[in-house]
C-alpha cells in the first residue's frame, strides 16, 4: 500500500463522519460529533502510524538510492581518471618510440626498455572492476590494441637479435612500423571515449 492510498483512506473516513453530522449543528449534535470524531481519530491512529512508517521508509529508500548512485558515479570518475592517465602515458611512450626509430642514434637496450614499458602500460588497462562501467565499444578498442602492441614486442625481439645489439652499436634510423601509427590512433579514440564518459559522470554527480 502506497502513501497516497493511506492518505486517501484517512480522508474518506473523515469525510464520512462529517457527512453524518452535516445537517445537525445543535449543541448536542456538535458535542456528539466531537466525541464521535475523537473516537474516529483514535481508531485512525494505526492508519496514521502506518502512514508515518511508510513515509519514513520511502524517504530512507530514496536517500539510500541517491547515495548509491552518487557512490557509483564517484567510482566511475576515479576509474576514468586513472584510465585517461594510463592512455595518455601509453600514447606518449608510443610517440617516443616512433621518434627513436625515425631519428636513430639510440642503443638497443633503450628500445627494449621503451617497448617493455608500452607492453606493461597496455596490460594495466585490463582491470576487471573497471570493465563493468565501460561500454562494449570502448572495451573492443582496448582489445584491438593487442595486435599492435604484440607487433612492437616482436620488433623488440628482432632488435635484440640484430648485429647492432651484438656489437653494442647505436641503432640507425628505421622506417616507422605501421603498428605504431595504428596504436596511436586506437589510443586517441580510447581517450575520446573516456573523456566523454568522465564528463557525463561528472554532470550526474
User: Residue 91 CB: number of other CB atoms within 10 A?
Assistant: 19
For residue 30, CA distances in Å to 10, 13, 16, 43 come to 21, 18, 16, 20
Q: Given pLDDT bands bounded at 50, 70 and 90, which one contains residue 161?
A: confident
Between residues 200 and 71, the one the model is more confident about: 200
To the nearest 10°, report the CA torsion of 117, 120, 125, 127.
Answer: -150
Task: Kindly state the percentage of the chain with pLDDT values over 90.
Answer: 30
Residues 6+ apart with CB under 8 A from 12: none
- The answer to which of 27-36, 54-63, 142-151 has the lowest mean pLDDT is 27-36
Burial tier of 160 (Cβ tally within 10 Å: 0-12, 13-18, 19+): middle
Q: What is the pLDDT of residue 16?
A: 66
Give the single-character DSSP code of 171: E
Q: Given pLDDT bands bounded at 50, 70 and 90, which one contains residue 120?
A: very high
Per the CB < 8 A criterion, the answer to whether 53 and 167 are in contact is no
Burial tier of 173 (Cβ tally within 10 Å: 0-12, 13-18, 19+): exposed
Span 12-21, mean pLDDT?
A: 61
Residues 6+ apart with CB under 8 A from 197: 76, 80, 133, 134, 138
Global pTM value? 0.65
- The answer to which of 71-80, 105-114, 148-157, 173-182 has the lowest mean pLDDT is 71-80
* Position 40 pLDDT exceeds 70: no
Minimal CA–CA distance to 91: which of 189, 194, 198? 189
For residue 91, the Cα-to-chain-centroid distance in whole angstroms is 23
Amino acid at each position: 500500500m502506497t502513501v497516497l492510498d493511506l492518505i486517501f483512506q484517512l480522508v474518506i473516513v473523515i469525510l464520512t463522519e462529517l457527512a453524518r453530522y452535516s445537517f445537525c449543528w445543535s449543541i448536542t449534535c456538535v458535542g456528539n460529533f466531537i466525541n464521535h470524531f475523537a473516537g474516529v481519530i483514535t481508531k485512525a491512529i494505526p492508519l496514521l502510524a502506518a502512514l508515518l512508517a511508510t513515509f519514513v521508509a520511502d524517504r530512507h529508500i530514496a536517500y539510500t538510492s541517491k547515495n548509491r548512485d552518487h557512490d557509483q558515479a564517484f567510482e566511475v570518475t576515479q576509474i576514468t581518471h586513472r584510465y585517461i592517465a594510463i592512455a595518455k602515458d601509453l600514447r606518449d611512450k608510443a610517440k617516443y618510440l616512433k621518434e627513436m626509430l625515425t631519428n636513430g642514434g639510440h642503443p638497443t637496450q633503450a628500445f627494449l626498455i621503451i617497448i617493455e614499458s608500452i607492453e606493461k602500460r597496455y596490460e594495466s588497462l585490463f582491470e576487471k572492476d573497471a570493465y563493468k562501467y565501460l561500454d562494449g565499444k570502448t572495451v573492443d578498442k582496448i582489445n584491438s590494441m593487442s595486435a599492435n602492441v604484440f607487433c612492437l614486442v616482436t620488433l623488440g625481439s628482432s632488435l635484440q637479435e640484430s648485429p647492432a645489439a651484438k656489437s653494442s652499436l647505436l641503432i640507425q634510423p628505421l622506417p616507422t612500423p605501421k603498428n605504431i601509427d595504428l596504436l596511436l590512433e586506437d589510443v586517441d579514440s580510447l581517450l575520446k571515449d573516456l573523456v566523454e564518459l568522465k564528463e557525463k559522470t561528472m554532470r550526474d554527480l
